Structure 1
Amino acid sequence: MRTLGQFYPVGSPLHDLDARAKILAVAVLAVGLFLVDSLIGFLVVGVALAACVAVSRVPTTVFSGFLRPVLPIVAATALFQAFFSREGRILVEWGFVEVRDEGLMLAAFLASRILLLVGAAGLLTATTSPLALADGVEDLLSPLKKLRFPVHEVAMMMSIALRFVPTLAEEAGRITRAQAARGASFSEGGLWKRARAMLPVLVPLTVGAFRRADELAEAMESRGYRGGEGRTRYREARFGPGDWLAPVLAAVVMVVAVSL
């Protein structure tokens, strides 16, 4: 199963777009989602995102894998919002728990925002290689170099973090399967018992992450990496007229969604 942050190499118009164009489009969508205040508006954004997934040729099974890990968080936050909101007309009352129409609406808004944001971020990482994504972030933040902000180092850390996400997910899966083969159960008992059952997974996973970080640091030092000073790129990305289409279309979609 593919996870958020994993690149899916396939030929598509979205893959061919400049990374900066896609980053700007996702940034426009992220800002606009906090201005949308209607379910129809969220539906418009969802349809636009589904169209982008179709154009990207990323299989729906892969795209759903980006959303699946956040579903429990979305469900928990939405239920909390629905049950403990004190605004609107009461629909269901059970003890100290009240379900109000305004709470349900806010829960739907919250769930829609999270899912659409994660979906857009997943599509960005699925259609953009980590190196291109890091270069795009570095180019967009390049004006901050005048303020002595470590732009290259921040972009490099982001690229490494994205690369480690699928690696750690695969390693966690292997450790979990190994523990299950030894009789460990991660779904039985209460919350505290299940949390204790995860310790045999978290400890070796953390140790493995530090080991990989040390190996990566040694490899970078042995190759003479000293940050962004004096570094050049093998390929220089060029922002063509067609690349402006992505952020412009994203802005149009968000204007329509906000106005509904």
Structure 2
Amino acid sequence: MMNKLILGRYIPGNSLIHRLDPRAKLLTSFYFIGIIFFANNWQSYLLLGLFTLFCVYLSKVDFGYFLRGVRPLLWLILFTVALQVLFTSGGQVYWEWGVFQITEYGVQNGIFIFCRFVLIIFMSTLLTLTTPPLELSDAIEFILRPLNVVHFPVHEISLMLSIALRFVPTLMDETEKIMNAQRARGVDFSEGNLIQKMKAVIPLLIPLFVSSFNRADDLATAMEARGYQGGEGRTKYRVLHWHKKDTVSICAYAILTIVLIYLRA
């Protein structure tokens, strides 16, 4: 598991983060992603970084999982950082060639963008690793419940998000099985240039699509066999309960916001 995509995976545990109400974790995760854009200096990013590491420590989840959450997006992060470094002007100029230049502000913005990406991925990974998909679905449905007034399909949307999140690691496992089967038949996915590597991946798509459609059909049959009729009039086996520790977590984010605004000023 450590070498696979961890998005959508849940690591069972009994830490403080695991025991928080999923509504509190979902709200605070989105709130953290929002306030991270208020950071504008190294002091504010240091504060957010220490806070994120403290949350990771409280979760008691191996730190390697969070690093592997960054790995699939590393090239996108580096590409974005490179654009910031090469096309941001201002401050002392360290290097210049045509339209490209490396300046003081460019390097600073590149570092800030990198930290922003990593912190967002860490917090999102923390949410999925410590929250079962079904509880996450219940939290999304509860938060979107006011949209029922305008006849928005809240239950269906939350169910779709939960199923999609749940089957991301399943599809990754299926892809790895197909790749191993084709490697056993002599296919080498690491040979050739970029175009040849892309062509080698194409044979993976057909069996993966067939497997996905079969899995979706089995899931639909299982839901119909159990009498699933949507969210209207449906009772819940898992009832969410808001505790004191959830309120404390909200207050912690409020204090974090105050300190962040102070450091920003």
TM over 0.5: yes
1:82 to 74, 82, 85: 85
CA distance in 1, matches of 2:81, 2:182: 32
Q: Distance in 2 between matches of 1:169 and 1:258?
A: 41
- In the TM superposition, residue 96 of structure 1 has moved relative to its aligned partner by 4.3
CA distance in 2, matches of 1:109, 1:140: 31
**Structure 1 residue 258 displacement after superposition:** 4.0
With the length of structure 1 as denominator, give the TM-score of the two structures: 0.92
Number of the residue aligned with 2:199:
196
**CA-to-aligned-CA distance 1:28-77 (integer Å, 9 cap, x gap):** 10110111112321221111111111111111122222222111211121
Q: What is the CA distance between 1:193 and its match in structure 2?
A: 2.0
Structure 2 unaligned residues grouped into runs of 5+: none
Corresponding residue for residue 100 of structure 2? 97
| Identical columns (%) | 40
Q: Which moved more, 1:143-152 or 1:60-69?
A: 60-69
> What residue number does 1:131 align with?
134
TM-score (norm 2): 0.91
**In structure 2, distance between residues paired with 1:257 and 1:200:** 50
Q: 2:187 aligns with which of 184, 188, 207?
A: 184
- Runs of 4+ in structure 1 off by over 4 angstroms are none
- Classify 1:4/1:255 alpha carbon distance in 2 versus 1 (closer, same or farther; 3 Å): farther
Task: After superposition, give the CA deviation of every residue in 1:118-155 in whole Å (9 maximum; x if it has no partner).
Answer: 11111011111111111111111111111211111111
Q: Which residue is 1:237 aligned to? A: 240
Distance in 1 separating the partners of 2:211 and 2:67 = 28
Which amino acid in structure 2 is aligned with residue 241 of structure 1?
K
Query: Are 1:37 and 2:40 matched, yes or no?
Result: yes
Name which of structure 1's ranges 248-257 and 107-116 shifts more when overlaid on structure 2.
248-257
Q: Larger relative CO (CA 8 A, sep 6+): 1 or 2? A: 1
Which residue of the partner structure matches residue 226 of structure 1? 229
User: Unmatched 5+ residue regions in structure 1?
Assistant: none
- Is 1:11 matched up with 2:14? yes
Cα distance change on mapping 1:36 and 1:223 into 2, 3 Å: same
1:153 to 147, 152, 156: 156
Question: Residue 40 and residue 184 in structure 1: after superposition, are their counterparts in 2 closer, same or farther (change >3 A)?
Answer: farther
Return the letter of the residue paired with 2:250: P
Question: Which range moves more in the overlay, 214-223 or 50-59?
Answer: 214-223
RMSD: 1.8
Tell me the equivalent position of 2:27. 24
CA deviation map 1:190-232 (0-9, x unaligned) = 3222222221223322332222122212221222212101111
Who is 1:72 aligned against?
75
State the Cα distance separating 1:12 from its structure 2 match.
0.8
State the aligned residue count: 260
